[in-house]
Amino acid sequence: MKKILSAAAVLPLFTWAQSAYAAQPTPWQTRFQPAATGIMEDVIWFEVYTLWFIIPITLLVMALLAWVMIRFRASANPTPSRTSHNTLIEVIWTVGPVVILLFLAIPSFQLLTAQYTPPEEPAITVKATGVQWSWEYEYQNDDNLSFSSFMLQESDRAAAGKEDVEQYPRLLAVDNELVVPVNTTVRVLVTASDVIHAFAMPAFGIKVDAVPGRLNETWFKADREGMYYGQCSELCGKDHAYMPIAIHVVSQDRYDAWRAEAQADLGNAYKNLTASAESREDTKLAAAGN
């Protein structure tokens, strides 16, 4: 049942994700962003699963309220019943909710456990530090690569090679994205240097508070390449709305090339990575047109 509901919920989103370069909010969006990880697919499935309980319960309660208001209004029922005890009804409204809560709690606990349990030892560990109002990233390995990520200013688009607003949307695009390889388990250590922030990436199904003096941990394993956007999700000051998160998921070869070049020249490494992404997107669109 889970697989059937998951496929039904994710299929149109997956189709959209194949044709789009970036997973980002859209105008009048009412659904989730396309899932880019197995965890987010499970989140979408669980949301659909809970609706099979929520909608019937809501309709039942509305119907009962309407029936009570009409059937037992003063004009239709001038002498109200003084019944104060009904064993059958009391058993039903006690056992029924308990059973429903069990059906909701079991998959909920399973999802929560999966969110905190990587399927394998993470190959990459990144420390993300929230700062008013940007993010600092530090790869936790021998070369110790670190950099800051600020929201991309409109005046800097041309120099960064990010003039396409559809791919690099206003208020979401950044100067330096967090770059990770596809199909790789990534551990993210989240903290803050000043006030409480929150590291959230909707397409990955992750959201964790960044608390000063504390390290919180999350993980993701993106299963398709692309640019993914999130934002700080904890009110953190006057520029809270201008603190986006961008994660660029690339192939292992492109990641290795970017990582090697970033050690010597971070700015040039990003320019080459952006140019490479543009070239791949043009090639994909040309192939689709043919």
Spell out the long-range contacts of 62-70 with Cβ–Cβ below 8 A and sequence spacing 24 or more: none
Residue 251 confidence (pLDDT) above 60 = yes
Share of the chain above pLDDT 70, in %: 87
| Domain carrying residue 39 | 2-115
- Judge if 284 and 150 occupy the same domain: yes
- Omega prior to 135 cis, within 30 of 0: no
**Burial letters 167-190, b for 16+ CB under 10 A, else e:** bbbeebbbbbbbbbbbebbbbbbb
Residue 163 confidence (pLDDT) above 70 = yes
- Judge if 85 and 199 occupy the same domain: no
Q: Residue 201's beta-bridge partner residues?
A: 206
The 10s digit of each residue's pLDDT in 86-132 is 889 899 989 999 999 999 999 999 999 999 999 999 999 999 999 99
Angular region, 15: left φ>0, alpha ψ -120 to 50, beta rest:
alpha
Residue 2 confidence (pLDDT) above 60 = no
- Judge if 128 and 87 occupy the same domain: no
- Judge if 9 and 141 occupy the same domain: no
- Judge if 9 and 106 occupy the same domain: yes
- Judge if 39 and 176 occupy the same domain: no
Count of structural domains within the chain: 2
Q: What is the reported pLDDT for 63?
A: 97
**Single pTM value for the model:** 0.81
C-beta of residue 192 within 8 angstroms of C-beta of residue 211: yes
Residue 242 confidence (pLDDT) above 90 = yes
Residue 159 confidence (pLDDT) above 50 = yes
Determine the average pLDDT of the residues in 164-179: 91
- Judge if 43 and 156 occupy the same domain: no
Q: What is the reported pLDDT for 33?
A: 86
- Judge if 167 and 188 occupy the same domain: yes
Among 115, 133, 165, residue at a domain's last position: 115
CATH code of the domain in which 235 resides: 2.60.40.420
Residue 155 confidence (pLDDT) above 80 = yes
Q: What is the reported pLDDT for 22?
A: 59
Residues in the chain: 290
Distance between CA atoms of 165 and 176, rounded to whole angstroms? 16
Determine the average pLDDT of the residues in 237-255: 94
- Judge if 17 and 106 occupy the same domain: yes
Closest CA to 172 of 248, 67, 105, 238: 248
Among 132-136, 149-153, 172-176, 280-284, whose mean pLDDT is lowest? 280-284
The rounded mean pLDDT for the chain is 86
Predicted confidence band at 281 (pLDDT cuts at 50, 70, 90)? Answer: low
- Judge if 154 and 36 occupy the same domain: no
Q: What is the reported pLDDT for 280?
A: 64
C-beta of residue 225 within 8 angstroms of C-beta of residue 251: yes
Residue 210 confidence (pLDDT) above 90 = yes
Q: What is the reported pLDDT for 272?
A: 87
Among 213-217, 225-229, 265-269, whose mean pLDDT is lowest? 265-269
- Judge if 195 and 270 occupy the same domain: yes
Among 70, 86, 115, residue at a domain's last position: 115
C-beta of residue 171 within 8 angstroms of C-beta of residue 151: yes
The 10s digit of each residue's pLDDT in 7-55 is 444 433 333 333 345 567 788 888 888 899 999 999 999 999 999 999 9
Closest CA to 212 of 197, 233, 232: 197
Among 91, 115, 139, residue at a domain's last position: 115
Determine the average pLDDT of the residues in 269-288: 65
Residue identified by tokens 């006690």 is: 94
Determine the average pLDDT of the residues in 214-222: 95
- Judge if 210 and 254 occupy the same domain: yes
